[in-house]
Amino acid sequence: MAEHRIVALSIVFFILVCFSDAVFESLVFRERHFWDSLVLDVHGHAIFLRSLVTLSFLAFGLIVFRTVKRQKRAEQALADRSAKLAESNGLLQVEIQERRQLERDLRASEERYRTIADFTYDWESWIGPDGKFIWVSPSCLRVTGYAAEEFLEDSALFQRIIYQDDLELVLNHISRHLNVDQLNSHSLDFRIVRRDGEVRWINHVCQAVIGEGQRLLGRRASNRDITDRVNAQALLKASEDRFRYIYENSPALMHSTDETGIVRDVNQKWLEVLGYSREEVEGRSISSVMTTQSSNKAMSTDLPQFWRDGSARDVPYQYITKDGNILDVLLDSVVMEDPIWGRSSLSVVRDITLRKKAEEETKRTKALLDSIVQNLPTPVFLKDARDLKYILWNRASTEIYGYSGDELLGKTAHDFFPKEQADRFVEQDREALTSGKMLCVSEQLVDNRNKGTRIMHTKKLPILDEDGSSRYLLVISEDITERKEAEQALIRAREAAEQASRAKSEFLANMSHEIRTPINGIVGMTQLALNTQLTPEQVEYLEAVETSAEALLRLINDILDFSKMEAGKLELVAVDFSLRDSIAETMTTLAVQAHAKGLELLYQVAESIPDTLTGDPGRLRQILINLIANALKFTERGEVVVKVDPDSETKREIRLHFSVADTGIGIPAEKQQRIFNAFEQADGSTSRKYGGTGLGLAISSELVRMMDGSIWLESEPGRGSIFHFTSTFRVAKEPIHTPAPADVSALENLPVLVVDDNATNRRILENTLLQWQTKPTIVDGGEAALHAMKSAHEEGRPFKLVITDCMMPEMDGFELVRRINEHPSWATPTIIMLTSAGERGDAARCMKLGISAYLLKPIKQSDLFFTISRVLKEPQDHPAQPSLITRHSIRESTKRLHILLAEDNAVNQKLAVKMLERMGHTVSVSANGQEALDCLKIQKFDLVLMDVQMPIMDGLEATRIVREHEKTSNEHVPIVAMTAYAMKGDKEKCLDAGMDGYISKPINAQELFETLEDLFHNETPEKTVEPRSEPENSVVNRTQILDRVGGDETLLKEIVDLFIRDYPRLVSEIRTAIREGDALKLEKGAHALKGSVGNFTSDSPFETALQLEVMGRTRDLSQAQETMKDLEERIRHLVEQLLSMSQEMGL
């Protein structure tokens, strides 16, 4: 039977295709199109059929007809067709009609598919068995930037647009699915590179098309741009990762539960705080970690309400940690719709355990404060800042004002007090609230409904809110009615007393000459009598008379001076003087007192003021000392600053404005005027705490008035005071001395860094350095200094000189220098350190750190200029041996030997230092052997004078250590012992320890000169003093003492004064040691006293002190009491003779 075929010619694709009947039916009903060229199976000589094809093509675009395969014999086929032609004619007509309908349907289906393919966003394509594109939809242009024709012409284009990193993946995927057995579609996501270079993600889906006999007809591919979806997925994943990270690393406790309260998840902080493992809580009810009360509340009430509302805030519970502790917590929860878990909750748990404890403590504290306020004896009440209504009223207020708290609370002053008083109260309240500061109302009249008018001292203090606005007004009152009445009575009594005092003062002033004359006669005649031959008893009596007379004279002088002032008979002298020298000397006098309290003592004299003036420098100094001493007395921390500025000036006169500012306790406004009255102080308790008679400011006020000036005060309690006064002086015609002008050219454009936390000192130094044409940079602390040095180094303009304060907060001067030394690349500058309070060991620290100068404030301009010039020049002159410049070395600029004195006795230190400095040597002092070793480690000395007996480490041990070190250093420093050779063998011990020589104590100037001459071959001229005969019983040899001090009577007076001040302490220490049976303390005390006494005598007091020292050393105190009595008696005689000697010599 012949096999029928259907032949179709498409006008759309110009391809003639032939299908079997079965395939045709399949195409019609499935609307599938295949574009493969198949064999046209028609009779080569069938012109009729060809004509039919042509007509059908022109008419319909598609002709469908049936053909049969060629038979072996063409004639037979033709005969068969002819025979059946008539029979089939009618059937053919019907079939043609059906085929035409099918053709129309097929064409319509093709048009629909083409329309969809042209307008779909996906990029569609057909690929032949050979891998070449047969058809590509136009949407490929939107996806790739390339037109469909480019893919049809170049099938390799598809592979080239695949992103390089994805190419291998794509090729491997395709190769796995080329097998015809792979009938299922396969999909892959990868990236392509568009024509414009943009990288896009596509989803590639490919389906193999299989024909009859499992023959691969081609592949259909669909490519969808999924870039937006990929990006969205990446963002979603990043968001999920961020949430998970935040969740797990949050400092807050977090957990999630389902609708029944079962824990689904907890974060790490939750586990850390509560102490459970994840396995112990996840999958269990959250109530398992709650107390019973919290669990019942949560499960029965809170949880159902939460699921209804969708959120909950600040829900209180109590959780139980694994170790059994109970935590008070607050829960903030929200409902979440989870795609995996469904509906769930997310809760943030805040641990408020400490807060609840603090709240409870606050409640207790509030109750305590309420109790304290109510029981205070002073009226205290509180007002609301908004409407000034009373909100607190203590019992004392009820007693003073006559109204109870129940009556006043919630009401204002206008509800109770007279309108005039209430208006005044409100005005004061508003003033305090507006200023934000405490308002003091000194004396205020207030009506009490029970006691009448009272005088009140009231303080009104605004209580500020967190934002700085006033919330409440605290009022504290004091009833001073009785006090004011007492003051009035006192004023009346004082006026009467002043009347009597003036009469007394006038009398004393008039009688001053008559009183002084006989007393001076007594003193003079007593001194003459003492120079005659007298018995010891007579000397004793006359010395007592002399001492008493001098004490009486000093007392009378003080009284007469004040009386003269009161009587108006005090006179001023007029002499030429240097203003700056006078002020500098005054400041130097008080510097020790300032430094002892750790205060900055500063002064500044305006450059425009001439230096030489005509006036009374003694009285000016008296005023300044009075004001500065008061400022130092009442200041515990901060500074005292003296300023001198021109007030007005004429050709002949200049009026100066002096000010003394402190940061002390301050003086209330109502008491500021009183302090200028005689015998008055700001507070009666002041004299008990700080001492003083109250005469100083009264005297200063009178002296200022006499200098044609005025004195006044600015002060605020708690912030300090500023005393001002003006004085008028004449301008001197000629200067007292004309110093050589300072050569500032060497300092011109010198970059200087100034470091000081004190703003006043910074300003003073800056002005001074600018006058010297330097380029100062001013900073207020160590960190700022380091930053400035770093910046200067980076900019190529390093500082050549650094002037730094020593005592600064956070980072002191020594630490700053150490930090600077850590940066050698900064071109380490020359450093000058200023200090307000030198400490023992500071010099050693300075030398160790490479500091060039260490000066005590306040410092004169001339001294500062000298120091800067010296330290900038010294590295060039002596690069290997830099020395530390101090205030002493400034005054002694030509030294020969650098000597280290190791001596613990203050008198001996003073004597030795003065002797050596007079010889032109530089002296450093250490108080014990350890300090001496520290100094020797960091600085070279030409000579060491070493006391043998010192605390911490004695001289022998220190010498041994030095000599041991010298064995490896190949250096040798001469060490001379200072010893009294009190015990047998002491001299040998000194030499055995390695000392080069010895000087007997007490030190004798001539012996010291000779010792130095022997060691260093110096020629020292001998000092001679005229001998003088001494009384036979005298233990003091004046000639020998003067020899010891090189004939320097001023030095002799200093060491005598120092001994008289110091010996009572030494005697007291010895007496205490004997009473307590402390042999070691006795030995040390007796040794110290012996050293001081030995400067004046080697007779009985020295020998008795030596006996006590030996008793202490041998631990035999059986005779110590008797010996001590003998010592005290001998010391008394020594002191009397020293005082007598001082008077005779006019010291």
Give the pLDDT score at 1014: 66
Give the pLDDT score at 1046: 58
What secondary structure letter does DSSP report for 994?
T
For residues 859 and 1006, what is the distance between their CA atoms, to the nearest angstrom? 35
Buried b (16+ CB within 10 A) or exposed e, 13-31: eeebbbbeeebbeebbeee
Question: Which whole number is the average pLDDT over 656-683?
Answer: 76
More confident residue, 214 or 1069: 1069
For residues 779 and 788, what is the distance between their CA atoms, to the nearest angstrom? 8
Among 317-331, 965-979, 1022-1036, 1093-1107, the range of highest mean pLDDT: 317-331
Query: Each residue of 947-992: pLDDT tens digit?
Result: 888 888 988 999 999 988 888 777 889 999 887 554 545 667 788 8
Residue 747's Cβ-side half-sphere holds a number of Cα atoms within 13 Å equal to: 23
| Residue 357: other Cβ atoms inside 10 A | 11
**Which residue is associated with the tokens 């907060």?**
809
Give the pLDDT score at 14: 38
Q: Where are the alpha helices (DSSP H) in 642-741?
A: 684-690, 696-706
Whether the predicted pLDDT of 1049 surpasses 90: no
Q: Where are the alpha helices (DSSP H) in 647-695?
A: 684-690
Whether the predicted pLDDT of 667 surpasses 70: yes
Q: Residue 844 is encoded by which pair of tokens? A: 């050693």
| Residue 827: other Cβ atoms inside 10 A | 12
Among 50-54, 99-103, 374-378, 875-879, the range of highest mean pLDDT: 374-378
Question: Which whole number is the average pLDDT over 315-333?
Answer: 92
For residues 1109 and 1091, what is the distance between their CA atoms, to the nearest angstrom? 11
Give the pLDDT score at 752: 94
Q: Residue 1056 is encoded by which pair of tokens? A: 């005598």
Region of poorest pLDDT, from 282-296, 521-535, 620-634: 521-535
Of 720, 616, 619, 603, the C-alpha closest to 663 is: 720
DSSP letter string, 237-290: HHHHHHHHHHHHH-SSEEEEE-TT-BEEEE-HHHHHHH---HHHHTTSBGGGGB
Question: Which whole number is the average pLDDT over 404-426?
Answer: 85
Cα torsion for 1072, 1076, 1078, 1083, to the nearest 10°? 30
Give the pLDDT score at 183: 58
Specify the DSSP element, H or E, that contains 986: helix 986-993
Query: Each residue of 989-1009: pLDDT tens digit?
Result: 788 888 888 787 667 666 777
- Residue 317 confidence class, pLDDT cut points 50, 70, 90: very high
Region of poorest pLDDT, from 348-357, 589-598, 712-721: 589-598
Give the pLDDT score at 1015: 75
- Residue 651 confidence class, pLDDT cut points 50, 70, 90: confident
More confident residue, 458 or 1056: 458
Give the pLDDT score at 469: 83
DSSP letter string, 765-798: HHHHHHHTT-EEEEESSHHHHHHHHHHHHHTT--
Give the pLDDT score at 646: 93
For residues 657 and 728, what is the distance between their CA atoms, to the nearest angstrom? 9
pTM: 0.34
Residue 308 burial (C-beta neighbours within 10 Å; 0-12, 13-18, 19+): exposed
Strand partners, 462: 473
Give the pLDDT score at 612: 87
Question: Which whole number is the average pLDDT over 830-855?
Answer: 82
For residues 321 and 328, what is the distance between their CA atoms, to the nearest angstrom? 11
Whether the predicted pLDDT of 597 surpasses 60: yes
Whether the predicted pLDDT of 587 surpasses 80: yes
Region of poorest pLDDT, from 70-79, 584-593, 906-915: 70-79
3-state secondary structure of 408: helix
Specify the DSSP element, H or E, that contains 655: strand 653-662
Query: Each residue of 602-617: pLDDT tens digit?
Result: 888 888 899 889 988 8
Whether the predicted pLDDT of 783 surpasses 90: yes
Contacts of 471 (CB under 8 A, 6+ apart): 385, 463, 464, 465
Give the pLDDT score at 119: 56
Give the pLDDT score at 216: 79
Residue 354 burial (C-beta neighbours within 10 Å; 0-12, 13-18, 19+): exposed
Question: Which domains can be identified in the chain, with CATH numbers?
Answer: 111-232 (3.30.450.20), 250-357 (3.30.450.20), 571-649+656-682+692-717+724-731 (3.30.565.10), 744-872 (3.40.50.2300), 898-1015 (3.40.50.2300), 1038-1145 (1.20.120.160)
- Residue 377 confidence class, pLDDT cut points 50, 70, 90: confident
Query: Each residue of 111-131: pLDDT tens digit?
Result: 555 555 555 678 888 888 888
Contact predicate 833/871, CB 8 Å: no
Contact predicate 959/972, CB 8 Å: no
Question: Which whole number is the average pLDDT over 641-663?
Answer: 92
Query: Each residue of 687-708: pLDDT tens digit?
Result: 444 444 456 677 788 889 889 9
Query: Each residue of 794-804: pLDDT tens digit?
Result: 888 899 999 99
Question: Which whole number is the average pLDDT over 8-28?
Answer: 41
Contact predicate 542/529, CB 8 Å: yes
Q: Residue 54 is encoded by which pair of tokens? A: 């042509």
What percentage of the chain carries pLDDT values higher than 70? 73
Whether the predicted pLDDT of 421 surpasses 50: yes
Angle at 1064 between CA 1063 and CA 1068, to 5 degrees: 115
Give the pLDDT score at 787: 94
Backbone angles phi, psi at 443, to 5 degrees: -135, 115
More confident residue, 393 or 889: 393
For residues 344 and 303, what is the distance between their CA atoms, to the nearest angstrom? 12
Write the single-letter amino acid at 920. G
For residues 562 and 539, what is the distance between their CA atoms, to the nearest angstrom? 35
Kindly report the average pLDDT of the chain as a whole number.
77
**Strand pairing of 5-10 and 15-20?**
antiparallel
Give the pLDDT score at 240: 74
Query: Each residue of 387-403: pLDDT tens digit?
Result: 899 888 888 888 777 78
CA-to-CA separations, 864 to 671, 765, 869, in angstroms, rounded: 41, 10, 9
Give the pLDDT score at 44: 43
- Residue 527 confidence class, pLDDT cut points 50, 70, 90: low
Query: Each residue of 433-446: pLDDT tens digit?
Result: 888 888 888 777 88
Q: Residue 17 is encoded by which pair of tokens? A: 């295709």
Whether the predicted pLDDT of 861 surpasses 70: yes
What secondary structure letter does DSSP report for 443?
E
CA-to-CA separations, 739 to 578, 609, 736, 858, in angstroms, rounded: 12, 16, 10, 21
Question: Which whole number is the average pLDDT over 1022-1051?
Answer: 55
Whether the predicted pLDDT of 221 surpasses 70: yes
Give the pLDDT score at 39: 37
For residues 675 and 721, what is the distance between their CA atoms, to the nearest angstrom? 13
Region of poorest pLDDT, from 230-239, 458-467, 566-575, 927-936: 566-575
What angle separates helix 1049-1076 from helix 1079-1093, to the nearest 10 degrees? 160
